[in-house]
């Protein structure tokens, strides 16, 4: 016995993939927009009716999406859709569509909504035979906010407000500074010194990080290159994954080396594990090219990802920077200390230098040295400081080794 019935319209709504015979109605004008459709086979006609007059708007074929406007802006259907011939369709629910929009940049999502609104107004005016309406200003949403912040950051970069800070990398045995890591700070005349988390995520999302990286790199390479002596410092410089997307990292670094006069052997390029996993073949090629001109490659934040070990045996990595999260707990015997001991041993077997990040107390530094790690970085030794201050401190500590 059948306890309930499902009509054809309800059946379509319950299935993601379904077939539609020619002439079947998919939705009517003014219906609520609860989904969009992708045409896999066949054709769908989109039309509207005004006082008994039917106006065909378009024929939608394989690979095309229709019904998406109402899903984007939440408005009712502005036209009717019917199968012009036997079709196979894929239904895209509101939740699925909104999830995809949610992964896009706020500016792009907001722009899409505004474009849909303008298209609706133009379509309505065309159907009614009236003039195009004047567009009223709408509320500025998160997309506008991101665009304005991007503009402010770009202007700050042009004004020289994005400045390099240096944090020393230290020999745990002797306490002597070996080199520095270059970091970006925003020295705003309005809000004061701003930390990287205030502006670098935005720069990463918009691609402005490329300009920031090259700006910081040129300034620190020029300054570090001016320090001579028998044991001059090296400089670690972070480069975003954006530089790998257009294959400009190697030529840009070549240009910087020539412009600043820094010896390539005194430069270390810090890269993230994510960059290497996204496109391993391209990453390997570019890293090998950098290694060939004498630059050392450092894997930053090791221990924060899921596939770090798979990266170590494939990529030409010279320096392993252990993230501060793995330092927690090494003061006592247990798993954290065992993990650290194993990583130090592994790095030795692979011929890699190991640098521990986030060293903040003498007890931790002592344990790390006992475990076999000779190099560290953290607030115990020094916080990131303005570049001129860091270089002055270097020269004061090594007067006989520096001719600068």
Whether 115 and 220 share a structural domain: no
What integer pLDDT is reported at residue 14 of this predicted model?
A: 41
Per-residue confidence band for 108, with pLDDT thresholds at 50, 70 and 90: low
Reported as a pLDDT band with limits 50, 70 and 90, residue 128 is: low
Using one digit for the tens of pLDDT, what is the confidence trace for 354-385?
999 999 999 999 999 999 999 999 999 999 99
Q: Are residues 303 and 249 part of one domain?
A: yes
Residue 140 falls inside a structural domain:
no
Q: Are 176 and 98 members of one domain?
A: no
CATH number of the domain that residue 371 is part of: 3.20.20.450
**For a pLDDT cut of 90, what percent of the chain falls above it?**
45
pLDDT single digits (tens) 23-69: 999 999 999 988 889 898 999 999 988 777 788 888 988 888 898 88
Average pLDDT over residues 160-183: 95
Identify whether residues 107 and 192 lie together within a single domain: no
**Distance separating alpha carbons of residues 23 and 16, to the nearest angstrom:** 20
Q: Cα–Cα distance between 287 and 281 in angstroms, integer?
A: 10
Q: Parallel, antiparallel, or unpaired for β 35-41 and 177-188?
A: unpaired
Alpha-carbon span 163 to 383, nearest angstrom: 16
Q: What mean pLDDT comes out for the span 291-309?
A: 82
Is 221 inside a domain boundary?
yes
pLDDT at residue 11, as a whole number: 39
The band of 305, judged by pLDDT with boundaries at 50, 70 and 90, is low
Query: Rounded distance, CA 23 to CA 86, Å?
Result: 8
Nearest-angstrom CA–CA distance, 179 and 270? 14
Strand (E) positions, 21-74? 25-27, 35-41, 44-50, 53-60, 65-66
Where in the sequence is the domain holding 94, given as residue range(s)? Answer: 8-128
Residue 287 above 60 pLDDT? yes
Tell me which residue has tokens 């394989």: 62
Domains identified in the chain, total number: 2
Q: 81 and 32 share a domain?
A: yes
Confidence (pLDDT) at 183: 96
Domain membership of residue 291 (yes or no) is yes
Inside any domain, residue 216: yes
Contact 172, 376 (CB under 8 A): yes
Which residues, in sequence order, are CB contacts of 197 under 8 Å at separation 6+?
none
**CATH code of the domain in which 90 resides:** 2.60.120.10
Rg of the chain on CA atoms, in Å: 30
Which tops the pLDDT comparison, 229 or 345? 345
Residue 97 clears pLDDT 90, i.e. is over it: no
Whether pLDDT at 239 is above 80: yes
315-341 per-position pLDDT tens digit: 899 999 988 888 888 888 888 899 899
Residue 319 has what pLDDT? 94
Residue 137 maps to a domain: no
Average pLDDT along the chain: 83
71: its two tokens:
């899903």
> pLDDT band at residue 99, thresholds of 50, 70 and 90?
low
Q: Is the pLDDT of residue 234 over 80?
A: yes
369 plus 259 within the same structural domain: yes
In this prediction, residue 70 carries a pLDDT of 84
Please indicate, yes or no, if residue 226 is contained in any of the structural domains.
yes
**Predicted local distance difference test score (pLDDT) of residue 306:** 58
pLDDT at 46: 92
3-state secondary structure of 288: helix
DSSP E strands in 201-350: the ranges are 234-238, 267-272, 296-302, 319-322
Residue 402 lies in a domain: no
Q: Where are the alpha helices (DSSP H) in 134-208?
A: 142-158, 200-206
Q: What is residue 130's predicted lDDT score, i.e. its pLDDT?
A: 60
The larger pLDDT score, comparing residue 116 to residue 280, is at 280
Both tokens of residue 174? 């002797």
Q: Indicate if the pLDDT at residue 399 is higher than 80.
A: no
pTM, 2 dp? 0.67
The predicted pLDDT at position 160 comes to 95
Name the burial class of residue 380, with classes exposed (0-12), middle (13-18) and buried (19+) by CB atoms within 10 angstroms of its CB: middle
């Amino acid at each position: 016995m059948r306890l309930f019935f499902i009509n054809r319209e309800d059946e379509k709504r319950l299935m993601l993939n379904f077939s539609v015979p020619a002439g079947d109605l998919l939705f009517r004008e003014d219906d609520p927009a609860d989904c969009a459709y992708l045409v896999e086979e066949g054709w769908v006609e989109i039309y509207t009716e005004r006082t008994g007059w039917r106006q065909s708007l378009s024929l939608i074929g394989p690979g095309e999406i229709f019904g998406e406007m109402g899903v984007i802006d939440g408005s009712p259907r502005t036209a009717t859709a019917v199968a012009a011939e036997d079709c196979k369709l894929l239904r895209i629910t509101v939740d699925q569509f909104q999830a995809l929009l949610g992964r896009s940049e706020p500016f792009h999502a907001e722009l899409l909504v505004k474009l849909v609104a303008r298209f609706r107004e133009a379509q309505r005016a065309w159907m009614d035979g009236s003039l195009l309406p004047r567009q009223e200003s709408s509320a500025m949403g998160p997309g506008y906010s991101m665009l304005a912040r991007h503009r402010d950051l770009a202007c700050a970069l042009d004004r020289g407000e994005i400045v390099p800070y240096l944090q020393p990398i230290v020999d745990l045995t002797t306490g002597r500074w070996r080199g520095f890591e270059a970091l970006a700070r925003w020295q705003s005349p309005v809000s004061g010194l701003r930390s990287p988390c205030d502006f670098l995520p935005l720069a990463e999302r918009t691609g402005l990080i490329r300009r920031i990286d090259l700006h910081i790199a040129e300034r620190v390479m020029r300054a570090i290159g001016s320090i001579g002596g028998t044991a001059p410092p090296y400089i670690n410089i972070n480069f975003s994954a954006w530089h790998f997307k257009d294959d400009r990292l190697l030529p840009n670094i070549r240009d910087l080396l020539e412009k600043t006069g820094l010896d390539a052997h005194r430069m270390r390029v810090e890269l993230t594990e994510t960059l290497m996993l996204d496109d391993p073949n391209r990453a390997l090629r570019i890293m090998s090219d950098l290694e060939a001109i004498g630059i050392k490659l450092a894997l930053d934040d090791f221990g924060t990802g899921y596939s770090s070990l798979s990266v170590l045996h494939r990529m030409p990595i010279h320096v392993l920077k252990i993230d501060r999260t793995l330092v927690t707990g090494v003061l006592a015997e247990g798993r954290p200390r065992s993990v650290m001991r194993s990583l130090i041993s592994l790095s030795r077997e692979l011929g890699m230098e190991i640098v521990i990040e986030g060293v903040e107390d003498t007890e931790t530094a002592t344990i790390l040295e006992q475990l076999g790690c000779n190099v560290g970085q953290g607030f115990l030794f020094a916080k990131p400081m303005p570049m001129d201050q860091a270089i002055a401190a270097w020269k004061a500590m090594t007067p006989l080794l520096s001719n600068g």
